[in-house]
Chain A
Amino acid sequence: MIPTRPGLVRQIVAVIHKDLLVEWRGQARLLAMGTYAVTLLLLFSFAVGPDTKTLQQHAAGYVWLALLSASTMTLTQSFRVETEAGALEALLMLPVDHRAIYFGKALANTALLVVLACLVMPVAAVLFDLSAAEGLYWLLPPIVLGAAGLAGPGTLYAALTARVAAQQLMLPLLLFPLIVPALVAAVKSTSLVLQGDPMGQMSSWLIVLASFDLIFWSLSGLLFAKVVEE
């Protein structure tokens, strides 16, 4: 009997649900990731010293460096759980669209990074004295688009390096040069929210981020099948 396949969106939702459940069950990993990001912020804060103005000026950069470093843990982990007991192979053996696996995993990784950013931002606000910043809800667009900029190509490269022994080393080597435009745009737009935007540049940087995401999510979605198949 040939089974009927659920639609692409339902498959994507099923992959997101599965990935987030796996992450939720492995809560120690989430905690480790959050602790790592907060520790980095603390180190930046101590390295610069009690110069409040400098800390405020560079706060966006420090936050995104912490998120970038922690993102390699998230991305590596998202494929380690797939390969440690052959789950990815079992997943590929199901009549599931490869695009659903990619977009589901990339969206789950984006959600995890957004959650991480939401945990890190209050710590950054205290450490870098960001209490004067207004309209902090405007941080959401750069955080979501920036997290997607890391997670989109990051999920593809994590799949590519999943069977490599030195994955923790290979992933940043491949990924970091590629995501420089997204990172620059995320830092600039976050900084404009924290420092104020008298010239109205915010929308331009968000367009850069959104364009980056659109291009790399589309390309990665197309390439994912080639990467995970033999």
Chain B
Amino acid sequence: MEPSAVETSALGRRYGRRWALARVNLQVARGERLLIAGANGSGKSTLLRVLASLLAPSIGSARVFGHDVATEPSAVRARVALLTYTPGVYEDLSARENLRAQLRLLGRDDAPEALLERVGLELRDDPVRGYSAGMRKRLSFARLLMQRPDLALLDEPYGQLDPEGFKMVDGLVAELSQAGATVIMASHMVERAGALCDRGVLIDQGQVRWEGPGPQTARAWDAAHGGGR
């Protein structure tokens, strides 16, 4: 039997004396779309970074497509792409040059223009330093699509974007899903993201407090936080 896309067992991660994740048990099937909701500092980003193998678990284990994130980071990274709040680009290069540099590192010579058009960025040659936050976010998405991931980890995918951008994210998530990728996103836009996902989990103080169908995540959040979103 093929291993799950993600499987964590009593996963914990601490920063100094503070536990950001505490005994998280999570299983995500291949091709599933999962929403992780939680207040600021609840552990969402830490969980995504552990799954991306950028942070090692303090206790427990996490496996991505059967590969342990702590001992097989290369195998994990070959199949995972992570979207974070930082754009992950070189400020002095243009969007096109940034993508081309990364494509070259992947040993590919496909043109980056199609990716830029897909995320709604104009084909300009000015450096990224002059881009708005929303344009940087779109470029981050282009970088993520470029990697053709089997598992896409999206940390606040709607952040910094305008309403048109929200629609773009919805479309990209559907596109990734249709291509067979597993999508895990952490978002404060619980209603919108929940409607896109098969399943949702609520995290509080590093622990999974609720798990259920994606579209019901908003209601669970309201119940847990008295309607404050």
On whether A93 and B148 interact (CB within 8 A), knowing A11-B105, A85-B90, A230-B56, the answer reads no
Interface 1/0 per residue, A1-25 and B, CB below 8 Å: 1111110001100110110011001
Roughly how many angstroms separate A203 CA and B88 CA in the complex, as a whole number?
Answer: 45
Output the nearest chain A residue to B179 by Cβ-Cβ distance.
A1
Contact across chains for B56 and A87 when beta carbons are under 8 A apart: no
Cβ of B91: which chain A residues have Cβ within 8 Å of it? 81, 84-85
A86 contacts across to B, CB distance below 8 A: 84, 86-89
Q: Assuming A1-B150, A21-B97, is B105 touching A89 (CB within 8 A)? A: no
The answer to whether B148 touches A14 (Cβ under 8 A) is no
User: What is the chain A residue whose CB lies nearest that of B140?
Assistant: A90
Known: A14-B101, A18-B101, A21-B97. A87 touches B106 (CB 8 A): no
CB within 8 Å of A: which B195-209 residues = none
Whether the pair B77, A93 counts as a contact (CB closer than 8 A) is yes
The number of chain A residues touching the other chain, given as a range, is 20 to 34
A89 touching B86 in the complex, CB below 8 Å, given contacts A4-B107, A25-B92: yes
CB distance from B128 to the nearest CB of A (A): 8
CA distance A17 to B73 in the complex (A): 26
List B140-163 residues whose CB lies under 8 Å from chain A. 143, 147-148, 150
Q: Among B77, B104, B127, which residue has its beta carbon within 8 angstroms of that of A18?
A: B104
Chain A residues, CB < 8 A from B105: 6, 11, 14-15, 18, 91, 94, 96
B23: Cβ under 8 A from any A Cβ: no
Q: A3-B148, A86-B86, A86-B88 are in contact. Are A93 and B106 (CB under 8 A)?
A: no
* Given known A-B contacts A1-B148, A11-B105, A26-B92, A92 and B78 have beta carbons under 8 A apart: no
Instruction: List A contacts of B54 (CB < 8 A).
Output: 89, 92-93, 230
A98 to B, closest residue via Cβ:
B74
How close is B6's CB to chain A, nearest CB, in angstroms? 16
B interface secondary structure, majority: loop
Chain B residues in 8 Å Cβ range of A177: none
Determine whether A95 belongs to the interface, using a CB cutoff of 8 Å to chain B: yes
C-alpha spacing A92/B88, complex, angstroms = 10
Contact A25–B77 (Cβ < 8 Å): no
Contacts of B168 in A (CB 8 A): none
Question: A91 — which chain B residues lie within 8 A by C-beta?
Answer: 88, 102, 105
Whether the Cβ atoms of A230 and B88 lie closer than 8 Å is no
Tell me, in angstroms, the Cα distance from A26 to B90 when the chains sit together.
Answer: 11
Docked complex Cα distance between A8 and B209 (Å) = 45
Distance of A7 from chain B, by nearest CB (Å): 8
Measured between alpha carbons, how far is A184 from B97 in the docked complex, in Å? 40
Decide yes or no: A85 and B106 within 8 Å by CB, A25-B127, A93-B54, A230-B56 being known contacts: no
Residues of A participating in the B interface, judged by any CB pair closer than 8 Å: 1-6, 10-11, 14-15, 17-18, 21-22, 25-26, 81, 84-87, 89-96, 229-230
Partner-A contacts on B (CB < 8 A): 52, 54-56, 73-74, 77-82, 84, 86-93, 97, 101-102, 104-107, 127-128, 136, 143, 147-148, 150
Q: Which 3 A-B pairs have the closest CB atoms?
A: A90-B88, A6-B107, A86-B86
- The 23 listed contacts between A and B (C-beta, < 8 Å) are A3-B148, A4-B107, A5-B78, A5-B107, A10-B107, A11-B105, A11-B107, A18-B104, A18-B105, A21-B93, A25-B93, A85-B87, A86-B84, A86-B86, A90-B102, A91-B88, A93-B81, A93-B82, A93-B88, A94-B102, A94-B105, A95-B78, A96-B105
Q: Add 12 more A-B contacts to A18-B101, A87-B88 (CB < 8 A).
A: A1-B150, A10-B107, A14-B101, A21-B93, A22-B92, A85-B136, A91-B102, A93-B77, A95-B78, A96-B105, A229-B73, A230-B55
